[in-house]
Structures are given as structure tokens and as C-alpha cells.
Amino acid sequence: MKLYFSPGTIASASAIALEEAGLPYEPVRVDFAAGEQREEPYLSLNPKGRVPVLITTDGTFTETGAILEYIAARAPEAGLAPADPVAQAQMRAAMYYFASTMHPNHAHGRRGARWADDPAAQAAMAAKVPETMTACCDYVENHMLTGPFILGDRPSVADCYLYTISTWLEGDSVDITAFPKLQAFRETMAARPSVQAVVAKGMIPQ
Ligand SMILES: N[C@@H](CCC(=O)N[C@@H](CS)C(=O)NCC(=O)O)C(=O)O
């Protein structure tokens, strides 16, 4: 498999899951500074101009939640997605929340041009990020982290997603010390060999 990534992005979630699953992959860096994600040949891989892209023998996949579920299904022995439908729905609820709410809130900080041309409007969106991301952390702390992990005692691909987003919090001016469960979760995940391997590959800047 090939995983297209840029350091510090949501693509790290898929890399962590691949490491957890024990599936070999080649990380391929996309140079955001050079705008490679918005040009050919990258646009032929992902017309959305975003990372991640996962190329597999089954096809080419985009969207973090879909990639994570594909990885979990490819390595059932790793137990990265539950068989129980209730736990599955809980895991998906977390991932949909990250994709539809928490990640877009973060993106309002540096990617405001997606939503407004007016520099003042972009600055207003960026100024709101600490507040909206803090509200998301409050939700995660009090309603999502039911144990050390999202599903309680056992890690799932949703935790790979949350860990990656949690690495953005200082940059978003969120005071993580206000969220002890989330802080403990981040420390637990950072100590896992999967995360350490992804850091060693330069995908999560330290
Ligand atoms: N819904 C997509 C979002 C992917 C996304 O927005 N990726 C960002 C990096 S975190 C990106 O590629 N941005 C490049 C750009 O905006 O030019 C997913 O979850 O995979």
C-alpha cells in the first residue's frame, strides 16, 4: 500500500492505524508548500486535492474515516473495529464527529479561504478556533472518552483519528490541562509503538 501524506495532517491517523494493524505501507510525502496537492499528477489520485490517499490492491481510497474502516477490515486479527453493532455505531459516531465538526473547526484557523475571500472574515474565523476547539474537547472529555479509549478499555481506529486531532490542540490555543481524560489519552497513545513509528517516519512533527 502507499499512503500519501503531509506532516502534521490528518493523514497521520491512517498511518497510525496501519502500524496498529501491522500492515506494510510506503509513506509518500506530498509537498504542501509547493502546492503539489492542487496539481497533477496528485489531482488524478485525489481530485479533492487533500491528503490522505491510500492506494491498495483493492483500489484507491480517500476520506480518513473510510480509510480507517478499510484498514480495520483488512486486519481483523488486530481488533481495531468492534463486531458488536452498538460499539460499531459508537465508533462511527466519534469518527463522523471528527470529520464533520472537529477537523473543520480546526481548519477555520489556517484554511479560512475555503469559506470566505474577505481577509477580515478569515481573521474572524481564525479567532474563533480556540473557542470552538475547546468546546469540542469538552464534548470529547465528558461524552466520548468512556475509558482510556473511546470504546472504553480497547483501542479502535477512532482513537487513531482522535490522537491525530489532539496533536493540533496547542496550535489551536486550547488549554489541554483543562481536559485530564483527553490529556491522559494523548499520553497513552503517544507511548504506543504505532504512534512512535509514525513519529519516527516524520509524519507527526515533534
Ligand atoms: N475529509 C477529509 C479531509 C482531508 C483534509 O482536509 N486534509 C487536509 C490536511 S489535514 C489537506 O489535505 N489540506 C490540503 C489543502 O487544503 O490544500 C479526510 O478526513 O480525509
Q: Give tens-digit pLDDT for 68-127.
A: 999 999 999 999 999 999 999 999 999 999 999 999 999 999 999 999 999 999 999 999
Residue nearest atom 15 in ligand 1 by C-alpha distance: 50
Helix (H, G, I), strand (E, B) or coil at 112: helix
Using pLDDT thresholds of 50, 70 and 90, give the confidence band for residue 67: very high
Are 12 and 20 contacting, i.e. CB atoms less than 8 angstroms apart? Answer: no
For the purposes of burial, counting CB atoms within 10 Å of the CB of 74, is it exposed (0-12), middle (13-18) or buried (19 or more)?
middle
Note down the domain range covering 123. Answer: 85-192
Ligand 1 binding residues, C-beta < 6 A: 9-10, 37, 49-52, 63-64, 99, 111
Helix (H, G, I), strand (E, B) or coil at 53: strand
The residue-averaged pLDDT of 21-42 equals 98
Domain co-membership, 66 together with 91: no
pLDDT of 104 reads 98
State pLDDT tens for residues 97-106.
999 999 999 9
- Distance (angstroms) between ligand 1 centre and the Cα of 204 equals 15
pLDDT of 18 reads 98
- Distance (angstroms) between ligand 1 centre and the Cα of 63 equals 8
Domain co-membership, 111 together with 174: yes
CATH number for 21: 3.40.30.10
Domain co-membership, 161 together with 183: yes
Helix (H, G, I), strand (E, B) or coil at 28: strand
